[in-house]
Amino acid sequence: KQEVTQIPAALSVPEGENLVLNCSFTDSAIYNLQWFRQDPGKGLTSLLLIQSSQREQTSGRLNASLDKSSGRSTLYIAASQPGDSATYLCAVRISYNTDKLIFGTGTRLQVFP
Amino acid sequence: GAVVSQHPSWVICKSGTSVKIECRSLDFQATTMFWYRQFPKQSLMLMATSNEGSKATYEQGVEKDKFLINHASLTLSTLTVTSAHPEDSSFYICSAGDYDRGTDTQYFGPGTRLTVL
C-alpha cells in the first residue's frame, strides 16, 4: 500500500529564505508526482507535475525534483514571500491505469515579513 | 480554463438530514471525477471515484449507502451525505481531469465545508 509522508509538518520562516519541503513515498512504482498548494479553507492549486521519467520541473521560484528509486521528491521555494504562506501537499499517481491520487500529510508554511 | 466549481461552498445542517454537494466542470468534460474528504489539519483522503454513466467506486471504509454519488453528465457529479451526523462534518473537495488538453493534471474544486449540528 502506497503511503506518502511530508516533512516538516510545519515551517515558519522570515521572508527571503530559500526553503526545502520534502515528500517521501513508500512504493517507487509511481506514474507521476504532483505538488499542490492549499490556502486555508480553500481547494487545491496545482503547482508542478513531474512524470516518473523526469527528474525535475521548474516554475518561477519553484523547483520540484523527483528521485523515484529512493521514493523522494523535494519542492524548493526560492526567496520566499509572505504570499507563499499556505499548506503544500504532494500527491502520487500510482499508475497510468488509474487517475487516483494518494496525498501526503502536508507541510504548513508560514512566511512572515 | 479547466475550472471546477462546487456548490454550496458551505452548509450547516441538523443531524439526521441529508445534504447534496454538486461538483461541476465548467469548461471541459470530465468522464471521471473524484471526491475527497479532509478533516482539520489533515490531508485529503479519497472517498470515491465517480464515473459518468456508471456506479461510483468507493474506497475501503467508505459507506456507499451513506455517501451517494451520482455522475449523470459529463460536467456534473453530486455527492449526497445521507442521514448526516456530527462526525460527517468535514471539508469535501472534488476534482476532475481535463484529459482532452493532453495533461495529467487534476483540477480541484474550491471545496464544501459541511457542519452537522
Strands (E), A1-113: 4-7, 10-14, 19-25, 32-38, 44-51, 56-59, 62-67, 72-77, 86-93, 101-103, 107-112
Work out the minimum CA distance from B106 to partner chain A, whole angstroms: 8
Residue of A41 and A12 predicted with greater confidence = A12
Cβ of A99 within 8 Å of Cβ of B34? The answer is yes
With bands split at pLDDT 50, 70 and 90, how would you rate the model's confidence at B99?
Answer: low
pLDDT at site A57: 96
Q: What is the Cβ-side half-sphere exposure of residue B27, based on CA atoms within 13 angstroms? A: 5
Please check the confidence at residue B101 and state whether its pLDDT lies above 70. Answer: no
Report strand pairing: A107-112 vs B44-51: unpaired
- Least confident range from A68-72, A94-98, B4-8, B97-101: namely B97-101
Cβ of B34 within 8 Å of Cβ of A105? The answer is no
pLDDT at site B103: 61
Work out the minimum CA distance from A102 to partner chain B, whole angstroms: 8
Spacing of C-alpha A15 from chain mean position: 19
pLDDT at site B100: 64
Work out the minimum CA distance from B83 to partner chain A, whole angstroms: 24
| Cβ neighbours of residue B54 closer than 8 Å, sequence gap 6 or more | B71
- Which set of grid coordinates corresponds to residue B22? 454538486
Closest partner CB to B43 (pick from A41, A99, A105): A105
With bands split at pLDDT 50, 70 and 90, how would you rate the model's confidence at B31?
Answer: confident
What percentage of chain A has pLDDT greater than the value 90?
83
Do residues A85 and A19 touch, judged by C-beta distance below 8 A?
no
Instruction: Summarize pLDDT for A84-95 with one digit per residue, the tens.
Output: 999 999 999 988
pLDDT at site A60: 96
Cβ of B105 within 8 Å of Cβ of A46? The answer is yes
Instruction: Summarize pLDDT for B68-91 with one digit per residue, the tens.
Output: 999 888 899 999 999 999 999 999
Q: How far apart are CA B16 and CA B81, in angstroms?
A: 10
CA-to-CA separations, A29 to A2, A24, B17, B32, B60, in angstroms, rounded = 9, 13, 43, 23, 21
